Amino acid sequence: MSSQTLWLVVVVVGLLALGVLGLQRRRSNGGQRPKAQQSGARISSAGADEHAHLSLADSKRPDHNRFNKSQSVIGVALSKVFAAQTDTSWQELEDSLIMADAGADVARDLVNKIRSAYKSGQPDVKLAATRVLTDVVDGGYVRNLNVERHDDLPAVILMVGVNGTGKTTTTGKLAHLLTQRNSDVLLAAADTFRAAAAEQLSTWGERIGVPVVRGVEGADPASVAFEATNAGIEHEVDVVLIDTAGRLHTKQGLMDELGKVYRVVSKVAAITEVLLVIDATTGQNGLAQAKVFSEVVPLTGIVLTKLDGTAKGGIVIAVQNELQVPVKLVGLGEGINDLVAFEPSDFIEGLISQ
Ligand SMILES: Nc1nc2c(ncn2[C@@H]2O[C@H](COP(=O)(O)OP(=O)(O)OP(=O)(O)O)[C@@H](O)[C@H]2O)c(=O)[nH]1
Ligand SMILES: [Mg+2]
């Protein structure tokens, strides 16, 4: 059998599975499309359709303590500044921000801002720090995920990033969050470099109970993503989540391939979110990756994974500052419930309270 025929067979099998799952789901719903409102999700933009920008923040408040490891360096330095505002304590705060991967410029700028807010009439240094940090970390960004059906078409979310950052795991966790809110989700395994990659996503699909469309190893990822999106359109799902292969940002051919996935899928449905998945433990290298990806696809949000395993929470500030793209989600572990909405107030509270 040629690889093309084999690929077609796999897609057809995927579609048949999707048909069965889709029918079962519709039946159990009495034939009605599910409504986000029924799930209690916060709707921040009213629309004619039943789905809108969906905030994951309401029911998934991060446990502050789980941020602590990623914030300990900055938190300790802040508490020293709160205790005594000396040149040494200010310098230590700047150093801690650099050590936590906020970047040298950002670190200097932040400390200067806190110092001048404190000097210019804000008598409480803690309050001055909270205000400045809130200003910088919050940045006025909209962090809700756009999972709104457009023109009666599914929302499409594209997951991108370098190798091993947590794209597939995040895709699975996100699918879980969305199905919990009664959204119909379809997963697309557009990582065709390794058979194991599609297998990994299929395992997530089985675990969550959502269909997965996959191609064979070596198939064109853009074709698989295209077929999967068409399947999502045909079966009227709410969200198509496309997992892509990890790719080195320095390999032009691989980056071109990602651009093609984006263009081809956009021909049939609007890609509402392009989420760049960055491993927080890679620090400043994550920024270099982010810059290149943002030149190839229009990033709408950052997912910072593995924040549970690093003391470098400053990357949150650096990446937003560099790209002007908000951190929307953070990964705090490998489990299905370890993906949470990034809430600046929780993050800052975690820093200040140490
Ligand atoms: N501790 C921790 N581990 C994570 C997190 N997210 C993902 N991982 C782990 O990171 C490893 C890589 O995750 P994958 O989801 O396979 O990464 P990927 O980006 O899809 O990898 P490629 O497809 O090879 O590029 C796995 O062992 C995951 O369990 C997280 O938030 N915290
Ligand atoms: Mg993967």
Q: Would you list the DSSP string of 65-112?
A: HHHHHHHHHHHHHHHHHHH---HHHHHHHHHHHHHTTS-HHHHHHHHH
Q: Is 326 in the pocket of ligand 1 (CB under 6 A)?
A: no
Q: Is 312 in the pocket of ligand 1 (CB under 6 A)?
A: no
- List CB-based neighbours of ion ligand 2 within 5 Å: 167-168
The rounded Å distance from CA 55 to ligand 2 centre is 25
- Specify the ligand 1 atom closest to the Cα of 165: 19
Q: Report residue 201 CA to chain centroid gap.
A: 17
Q: Is 71 in the pocket of ligand 1 (CB under 6 A)?
A: no
Report pLDDT for 348: 87
Cβ atoms of 236 and 184 within 8 Å: the answer is yes
The rounded Å distance from CA 227 to ligand 1 centre is 26
The rounded Å distance from CA 94 to ligand 1 centre is 31
The rounded Å distance from CA 192 to ligand 1 centre is 17
- Specify the ligand 1 atom closest to the Cα of 277: 19
Q: Is 69 in the pocket of ligand 1 (CB under 6 A)?
A: no
CATH for the stretch 3-61+142-352: 3.40.50.300
- How far, CA to CA in Å, does 183 sit from each of 3, 166, 176, 236, 272? 34, 23, 10, 11, 15
Q: Is 247 in the pocket of ligand 1 (CB under 6 A)?
A: no
Report pLDDT for 12: 41
* 3-class secondary-structure state, position 207: helix
Alpha helices, H only, the chain: 3-28, 64-83, 87-99, 104-119, 125-138, 167-180, 195-208, 221-234, 252-266, 284-296, 315-323, 344-352
CA dihedral 31, 230, 142, 246 (to 10 degrees): 130
Q: Is 250 in the pocket of ligand 1 (CB under 6 A)?
A: no
Ligand having the closest approach to the CA of 160: 1
The full set of domain ranges for the chain reads 3-61+142-352
Report pLDDT for 15: 45
Ligand having the closest approach to the CA of 336: 1
Tokens standing for 51?
Answer: 């789905």
Ligand having the closest approach to the CA of 335: 1
pLDDT tens by residue, the chain, 354 residues: 444 444 443 444 444 444 434 333 433 343 333 332 222 222 122 222 333 345 554 434 455 455 655 567 888 899 999 999 999 999 999 999 999 889 999 999 999 999 998 888 777 899 999 999 999 999 999 999 999 888 899 999 999 999 999 999 999 999 999 999 999 999 999 999 888 999 999 999 999 999 999 988 889 999 999 999 999 999 999 999 999 999 888 888 899 999 999 999 999 999 999 999 999 988 778 888 889 999 999 999 999 999 887 777 888 899 999 899 999 999 999 999 999 999 998 888 877 876
With a CB cutoff of 8 Å and minimum separation 6, the contacts of 128 are 114, 117, 118, 122
For a mutational test of ligand 1's pocket, the pick from 334, 337, 342, i.e. the residue with the most ligand atoms closer than 8 A to its C-beta, is 334
